[in-house]
Structure 1
Amino acid sequence: LAKQVGVPAIVVFLNKEDQVDDKELLELVELEVRDILDKYGFASDDIPVLAGSALLALEALVENEDIKPGDNEWVDKIYKLMETVDQHIPTPEREMDKPFLLAVEDVFSITGRGTVATGRVERGSLKVGDTVEIIGLSDTKSTTVTGIEMFQKTLDETIAGDNVGILLRGVQKKDIERGMVIAKPGTITPHTKFEGQVYVLTPEEGGRKSGFFKGYQPQFYVRTTDVTGKIMSFSYIKQRNPSELSTMHSNPMVCPGDYVNMVIELITPIAIEK
């Protein structure tokens, strides 16, 4: 799943090391983890794998919050984990060069001022006085930004990565809801139909135990919204067990572990893009 959604870098931490008496067993677990990483397209030789006990480290810090590096083995392992994360996980770059977009997380009204939509700025920048569009779940609306606030401070401008509240002119609370997006006009449009590449998680990965057919209607989560969609058609990219009846059946079935291309039709329009 991490590979499918585009996670670029990973550090592995094997927890509960204190419950393993045989160190060779820990080495076998690490080898198995690296095999799994390779299976899903990660370069396991370049990925750090560390072990420790989060519980014992926490208990030590609760007992003595002034513990310094070198005072406790389990706390040191957590320090080492964070140092490794700092070294191997790149700092995300703010997408400042792209058009403004914010997915609405919550909406509330301020007496005498108007409607405020809150969320994290996904990309771009926005200034007070800018014109924006509210897109998805209903008809697209155009409005003007009359105020921006972050952590109870008034701003003239917000940029990618900020969690802000945006005051919108002439918009009623009933006109905007969680799952809509606020964007620069003309940069993103609502759709009810799209094609996507899908990997179906197996039971071992926390996914499905059974397959499904064309016409299945699951929930689709996009940014801050979830909406029901119908699988109109699919084609196999790679099957986990291609010899199964799923390929021979007159009504083919998608099984856990399969990679497929799907055409989806949603019951309501949402703002999506490639």
Structure 2
Amino acid sequence: MAIGTIGHVDHGKTTLTAAITKVQAEKGFANFLEYGAIDKAPEERKRGITISSAHIEYETDARHYSHVDCPGHADYIKNMITGAANMDGAIIVVAASDGQMPQTREHLLLARQVGVQKIVVFVNKVDALEDPEMLELVEMEMRELLSGYGFEGDETPIIMGSALCALEGRRPELGVEKINELLKAVDTWIPEPVRDLDKPFLMSVEEVFSIQGRGTVASGRVERGVLKKDSEVELVGKGATPIKSKVTDIETFKKSCDESRAGDNSGLLLRGIKREDVRRGMVIAKPGTVTAHQKFLVSMYVLTKEEGGRHTGFHENYRPQIFVRTADEAAAFHWPEGTADPSKMVMPGDNVEMVCDIYNPLALEPGQRFNVREGGRTVATGLVTRILK
């Protein structure tokens, strides 16, 4: 299960991560990593985008966690948008002395956008606080803030302690004991992620061909769910209305099968469908679970020249190609309504929120990742945050 530490710069995200590994290492559940070992995580190159995030693993009595601690703020947002930091849950770290700060809010918003459902709060640096009444204020502020971003503010566990005390082995009532309390909260409050197999069936069409006397076959990789032979499906993404069909045969690795599951590369024989009804980029899904859209809000990171992106910026009404799953469509990007200065430029290296319009409707849902390409190179990468039309 993937979990991450988020929060304002210098509030103690990395110290907390080190403290967790120390406390769990003493129980034989982790390898202790010092602050410096986490902070100097090797740069990973993933899809040509450089990421600096430390990946750490540890266990609790209940679960195995992979933990992401991303030091750089700009990096962090880039990672969240590009999918490097896929998180099932998060620990937000807030310094008792400062309370919530701009990045606290920004990270909460991003966590919401990338689909994190539950968060645990760790109020850090309690050992350095002179006025204990401040803690009540910080807790109240955080609960209000969480509710404002659509998290369950009143129920969210808030643990108050000191990561440094835990790391240095002093004041256990603020240190080790609080780390244990935090991990217990993470175990119980953050739900197990829904496995791809349990989600409704979806396959993105890569190829379409006709088999004489049998009909039309669409093939591709199954993204999620399970499909049994003779199930009803919908083909979504050519026009605004889905096309209904029935899967009369399933082929995986050249063998006829009774079902197709997440991860399989399968060919589906579709009853009553002409070859020209289906094209690459459409999806075949469980009826009623996916709809096609043409206008949506996106969060995207624009690659720098060094990352293989554009050398110059672009303006409102920029028209590249957008790649979603196996589809590619002509797109136009605009600033959202109410933007203070719609004439401003988007520069390489920027993280921006924009509205994307596409010529043909595509099967889309919030959280869907995409790439933007132009002239044979990827110039931006992002995710759909809200469907507008």
State whether residues 232 and 244 of structure 2, in contact with CA within 8 Å, keep that contact through their aligned partners in structure 1: yes
State whether residues 232 and 263 of structure 1, in contact with CA within 8 Å, keep that contact through their aligned partners in structure 2: yes
- Partner deviation per Cα, 1:132-189 (whole Å, 9 max, x = no partner): 0000022410001100011221101111111010000000000001000000001010
Cα offset for 1:130?
0.5
2:362 corresponds to which of 250, 270, 273: 270
1:216 corresponds to which of 315, 318, 339: 318
- In 2: Cα distance, 1:255 partner to 1:222 partner: 23
2:201 corresponds to 1:100: yes
- In 2: Cα distance, 1:189 partner to 1:222 partner: 14
- In 1: Cα distance, 2:279 partner to 2:314 partner: 32
2:226 corresponds to 1:130: no
Letter in 2 for 1:153: K
Change (3 A) 1:212 1:152: same
Give unpaired runs (5+ residues) of structure 2. Answer: 1-39, 58-67, 69-193, 367-389
2:233 corresponds to 1:144: no
- Partner deviation per Cα, 1:186-206 (whole Å, 9 max, x = no partner): 101000001110000000111
Alignment partner, residue 120 of structure 1:
221
- In 2: Cα distance, 1:174 partner to 1:34 partner: 46
- In 2: Cα distance, 1:35 partner to 1:96 partner: 29
Change (3 A) 1:157 1:259: same
Give unpaired runs (5+ residues) of structure 1. Answer: 1-30, 48-92, 236-246
- In 2: Cα distance, 1:250 partner to 1:97 partner: 43
Alignment partner, residue 294 of structure 2:
192
Alignment of 1:12-91 (within 5 A): 33-34=42-43, 40=51, 42-43=53-54
Letter in 2 for 1:190: A
State whether residues 232 and 264 of structure 1, in contact with CA within 8 Å, keep that contact through their aligned partners in structure 2: yes
State whether residues 94 and 160 of structure 1, in contact with CA within 8 Å, keep that contact through their aligned partners in structure 2: no
State whether residues 35 and 44 of structure 1, in contact with CA within 8 Å, keep that contact through their aligned partners in structure 2: no
1:202 corresponds to which of 304, 312, 319: 304
- In 2: Cα distance, 1:151 partner to 1:32 partner: 40
Alignment partner, residue 26 of structure 1:
none
Alignment partner, residue 21 of structure 1:
none
Letter in 2 for 1:211: G
- Partner deviation per Cα, 1:108-145 (whole Å, 9 max, x = no partner): 00011000000011000001111000000224100011
1:256 corresponds to which of 348, 369, 379: 348
| TM-score, L = length of structure 2 | 0.45
State whether residues 34 and 44 of structure 1, in contact with CA within 8 Å, keep that contact through their aligned partners in structure 2: no
| TM-score, L = length of structure 1 | 0.63
Cα offset for 1:232?
2.1
Counting matched residue pairs gives 188
- In 2: Cα distance, 1:111 partner to 1:250 partner: 54
Letter in 2 for 1:113: R
State whether residues 214 and 234 of structure 1, in contact with CA within 8 Å, keep that contact through their aligned partners in structure 2: no
2:211 corresponds to which of 110, 113, 134: 110
State whether residues 247 and 269 of structure 2, in contact with CA within 8 Å, keep that contact through their aligned partners in structure 1: yes
- In 2: Cα distance, 1:213 partner to 1:157 partner: 48
- In 2: Cα distance, 1:262 partner to 1:250 partner: 11
Letter in 1 for 2:334: M
Letter in 2 for 1:147: D
Which segments of structure 1 move beyond 6 Å, counting only runs of 4 or more?
44-47
Q: Secondary structure at the match of 1:213?
A: coil
Letter in 2 for 1:228: A
Q: Secondary structure at the match of 1:166?
A: strand
Identity of aligned residues (%): 49
Which has the higher relative contact order, 1 or 2, with Cα contacts under 8 A spaced 6 or more apart?
A: 1
State whether residues 298 and 353 of structure 2, in contact with CA within 8 Å, keep that contact through their aligned partners in structure 1: yes
Change (3 A) 1:207 1:147: same
Alignment partner, residue 179 of structure 1:
281
Q: Secondary structure at the match of 2:197?
A: coil
